[in-house]
Structure 1
Amino acid sequence: MAVASVAVAAGPASGFARGYVDRLEQAAKEDAGRNDNDADSTGGSRADKSAGEAHDAQGGAVVDRTAQVADAEAEATGAGGATAAATAVRVRSRGLLGALPQGVLAGILCAATLAWGLNRGEPVETIIALPVVALLGVAGSVDAVCHRLPDRLLGTAALWLVVAIVGRSLVRLATIEPAQVALWPASRALLCALGVGAVVFVMWLIPASGMGLGDVKLCALLGLWLGYTAVEFAVTGVVVGFFLAGLVAIGLLITRRAGRKDMLAFGPYLAVGGWLAWLLAVA
């Protein structure tokens, strides 16, 4: 399972990540181009028309003011306005998504996960965790590169967890455990996913939080993964992730490598927080 997880991260997952970033950049360029065309076709004509009407009705002073307002509107539209800002993609350190870096990252994460889990006598937990850790490594790398968390990577990890949880529940039922006892861990995992996801979703509704919907989905995924063991580990994973992000943000501000208005990718820190919480849960 460890070898397969590393192979997936270095192969199809990293390939998808590179294509995902390329598509984001292409979509942003096309959107910016459309906004530029709209500005060229409508901005000047509206300004001329408004200026002409104002001159006929009220004189030159009003013409100047109307033209200035129209020019300002045209400039904002030409720059892309809110649409361009919302779809703009700033890509940094694209090489991180290469097959070799992702293979090395997944290899380190899976080796540490494997050694820790087997040393604690938890082979089943380790087998389930390995693909999740590998996929979170790729997803966190994408977030670090372009501030996006791909749904396909998070969805694949969630699907694997659902299959694993259902399988474990069926095995527990087959061992003649009471249904309530056998199904409770699965129910707890689902409740943790919904609960953690709902709390972070409320945070996302606050504009100043800096959260994205991808962060909400990632937190729900961590709740599903860690909630199977206990509620406190699901909470710990998210809290540790936010704590790590806060420490890094403070460090960047102190060293002046980032400003107060710069965006910070939460995904890598949430993923690390979830992984550390899993290590604690297995211990």
Structure 2
Amino acid sequence: MSTELTAAAALALLGLLVGSFLNVVVHRVPAGQSVVRPGSSCPECGSPVRARDNIPVVSWLLLRGRCRDCAHPISARYPLVELGCAALFGALTLRFGLSPILPALLFLAAIGLALAMIDLDVSRLPFEISVPGLGVTAVLLALAGFADGWSPVAVALLSALAWFGLYWSLWFGTGGRGMGLGDVVLAPTLGLALGWLGWGPSLVGLLGGFAIGSVVGVTLMLVGRAGRRSQIPFGPSMLAGALLGAFAGSAIWGAYLGTIG
């Protein structure tokens, strides 16, 4: 097995563990609860989750998706979040290798997955995650700068400003009806990280989020799941656009410039 595949496999395993913790974050942060204490327990009978039942994915399969004590069903979303985080970690490692920017991208993938799940659940992006997320991302990018040079800094800062400016304008211009404040707070973090990768990833990520959101909205209306006045969480589309920008933004932007050049 090549070094790249070995690294991707190792970080995918790490993603499983991180995904297990993200399930706690998704459940507790919106409720204002600590993500550290108390330990995990069954929401139905209150029995503590045993250590052997905390193995990502495997424990859910062995328990057949039910609590060991009361047989209450355990949502399939738990192993899906774990697998999703593992897939993101592995894919990002294959795409960027063991580069200095990888830790920042892995961190954003983790909090982005948690924020998307929370937004789908309660229609908000908690500041408890997004505000410190900006600081952590900035620190991780600074470490990347020390290791690999500071040439991306100017574009990253301008990108963060552009993302924030657009989202703030939409929020302010609609009186908060067309854009949530949580989206505004998250925007500069995504802009900063994607801008570090270049203008192509930043712009594709920015515009891609709105394109994905439009497709989701129209699809939900066509199948009767939403109306013209329905409030549809935008965070997942925003984050999906950022993911598109990270993985394919340079190629897409280059192809676009080729068509107009």
Normalised to the residue count of structure 2, the TM-score between the two structures is: 0.68
Of residues 212, 217, 220, the one that matches 1:252 is 220
The answer (yes or no) to whether the contact 2:16–2:82 under 8 Å persists in 1 is yes
**Partner deviation per Cα, 1:51-90 (whole Å, 9 max, x = no partner):** xxxxxxxxxxxxxxxxxxxxxxxxxxxxxxxxxxxxxxxx
CA contact (8 A) 1:110 1:133 kept: yes
Partner in structure 2 of residue 214 of structure 1: 182
* Aligned twin of 1:160: 136
Distance 1:123 1:169 in 2: 11
Question: Would you say 1:117 and 2:127 are equivalent positions?
Answer: no
CA deviations on 1:99-133 (whole Å, 9 max, x unpaired) are 43321221222222223334xxx633434312211
Partner of 2:17: 7
- Partner amino acid for 1:102? V
What is the CA distance between 1:148 and its match in structure 2? Answer: 0.8
1:158-188 per-residue CA deviation (whole Å, 9 max, x = no partner) reads 233212221122235xxxxxxxxx4341232
List runs of 5+ in structure 1 lacking aligned partners.
25-93, 173-181
CA shift for structure 1 position 135? 1.6
The residue type paired with residue 162 of structure 2 is G
Distance 2:146 2:189 in 1: 21
Deviations 1:13-65 (A, max 9, x none): 331321233349xxxxxxxxxxxxxxxxxxxxxxxxxxxxxxxxxxxxxxxxx
Q: Which residue of the partner structure matches residue 138 of structure 1? A: 114
Structure-to-structure mapping, 1:230-249, within 5 angstroms: 230-249=198-217
Residues 189-236 of structure 1 show CA distances to partners (whole Å, capped at 9, x for unaligned) of: 122112210111010013375210111122211101100121232121
- Which amino acid in structure 2 is aligned with residue 106 of structure 1? C
Q: Pairwise mapping of residues 181-220 of structure 1 onto structure 2 (< 5 A)?
A: 182-207=149-174, 210-220=178-188
CA contact (8 A) 1:140 1:271 kept: yes
Bigger Rg, structure 1 or 2: 1
Structure 2 counterpart of 1:8, which letter?
V
Shift of residue 249, structure 1, vs aligned partner = 0.7
- RMSD (CA atoms): 2.6
Aligned sequence identity (%): 23
Displacement of 1:153 after TM fit?
2.4
Aligned residues of 2:100 and 2:144 also touching (Cα < 8 A):
no
Q: Is the alpha carbon distance of 1:246 and 1:165 closer, same or farther for their aligned partners in structure 2, counting shifts above 3 Å?
A: same
Aligned length: 200
Q: Distance in 2 between matches of 1:111 and 1:229?
A: 19
Aligned to 1:19: 28
In structure 2, relative to structure 1, the CA distance for the partners of 1:6 and 1:155 (3 Å cut) is farther
Give, as a single letter, the amino acid of the residue that structure 1 aligns with 2:129. Answer: L
Q: CA deviation at 1:276?
A: 1.0
2:233 to 262, 265, 268: 265
Instruction: Tell me by how many angstroms 1:156 deviates.
Output: 4.4
1:9–1:135 Cα contact (<8 Å) kept? no
